[in-house]
Amino acid sequence: MPKYDCEVKDSKGDIIKTTLEAPNLQELANRLSDKGYYLVKAKEVKASAGFGFGGSVSKKDMMVFTVQLSTLVGAAIPLVEAVGILADQTQNMYFKGILNSIGRDLQSGQSFSVSIRKHPTIFDKIYCNMCEAGEAGGMLDQVLQRLAAFAEADAEIRGKIKGALTMPVIQLVLAVLGVIFLLVKIFPNFSSLFKKMKVELPKITEVMMFASDMLLENSLMVAAGAAGVAAAFYFGLKTQVGKVIMAHITLKGPVIGPLTQKIAVSRFSRTFCSLLGAGVPILQALQITASVMGNPLMEDMIANMAIGVQQGNTLASTLVKVNIFPPMVKKMIEVGENTGNLDVMLTKAADFYDREVKEALDGLTSAITPLLTVAMGIIIGAIALSVFMPLFKMTQSMK
């Protein structure tokens, strides 16, 4: 029987970490719920699959696989044959080995959801639970279509975010390299002249001379310091405190806050409606959605929503104190619950906020590019000013 490393919340709101056994994640959640507990997180403890080291499957590979599998299953091709066809077609040898293993499991009589759960690094909670619900309801082909649509929408948003950040990052790197080049190659030629001058140097020139000397004479120390700061920042973000601080900054900070909230609402709506549409129970759907948000604040908010639903409240009523969700989304969820079309209303909300995210990213890119250009101009202007001001003073003294 599978074992799960769990985080469980009791009626007082305290978190308890433990390891429990259960046939599946749904049964585990049900057992805890019967005892008055709420399952916050659960990670299955599994042995290594034995496919060697260094293997990986990209999100694009998974999207293509899901689209193709949904097409084959929708065309009434048996699932075991469809998996075999896709195993033969893939160019990723690591993925081929996993698909062949899934094919053998299917031939031995195991269900698709059970076989893919053996590979949690490839098939995430959303994928596994939706497939399990689809098999139980006899609509695996429809669930695969939902997963394919979900993967395509998620890939589009990720691509948009990546595209929006690419140019500003390139500009920032070029700006830093340009400043280093000026301080290391150009400014020292004037610096030696300034040191021989008997005029008082402006503060800006003294700062630039100090920076230039540091880069030339203590380059290893500067590099080590920069690497240390970067490492401290990186590992700091890995800690729970660092994650919470970054979550506050990204959700509530200026400029980036509204954009992050739109992305979070879009991701919640898309994930939650996909799970509900596949037949996953609402409590389990909330638990899975919370676990994939990637933001501790959002995870806590959704976990509290699940506790409210578990206590018999409507989903809409649990959103009253959640300020991340706009009034429009809260109203759409309320209408969806009252009419029995919650997944449909969430799909509309996800589509709307996907468009909002795209427009916001376009606006952010348009705003960042000129700001970086202005910042680069100011820095270069400061370096030029630090050169010309002493020269101007020297000319004046000669007169």
Distance between CA atoms of 86 and 24, rounded to whole angstroms? 27
| H or E element that contains 396 | helix 342-398
Confidence of residue 46 (pLDDT cuts 50, 70, 90): low
Confidence of residue 50 (pLDDT cuts 50, 70, 90): very low
Nearest to 285 by CA among 390, 85, 130: 130
339 by Cβ neighbours in 10 Å (0-12 / 13-18 / 19+) ranks as exposed
Q: Is the pLDDT of residue 198 over 50?
A: yes
| H or E element that contains 193 | helix 187-196
pLDDT of amino acid 54: 46
Q: Is the pLDDT of residue 52 over 50?
A: no
Q: Tokens 């031995």: give the residue.
A: 108
**Number of neighbours of residue 47 by Cβ within 10 angstroms:** 6
pLDDT tens by residue, 202-213: 788 888 888 888
- What number is the average pLDDT over the span 355-371? 78
Is 60 within 8 Å of 159 (Cβ atoms)? no
pLDDT of amino acid 176: 83
Alpha helices in 293-341 (DSSP H): 296-310, 315-318, 327-339
Phi, psi of 123 (to 5 degrees): -105, 110
Q: Is the pLDDT of residue 47 over 50?
A: no
Is 313 within 8 Å of 390 (Cβ atoms)? no
Low-confidence winner among 49-63, 65-79, 320-334 (lowest mean pLDDT): 49-63
Phi, psi of 367 (to 5 degrees): -85, -40
Low-confidence winner among 183-187, 189-193, 317-321 (lowest mean pLDDT): 189-193
User: Which residues fall within 8 angstroms of residue 189, CB to CB, at 6 or more apart?
Assistant: none
More confident residue, 176 or 193: 176
Q: Is the pLDDT of residue 293 over 50?
A: yes
**Number of neighbours of residue 272 by Cβ within 10 angstroms:** 26
What tokens appear for 110 in the block?
């195991």
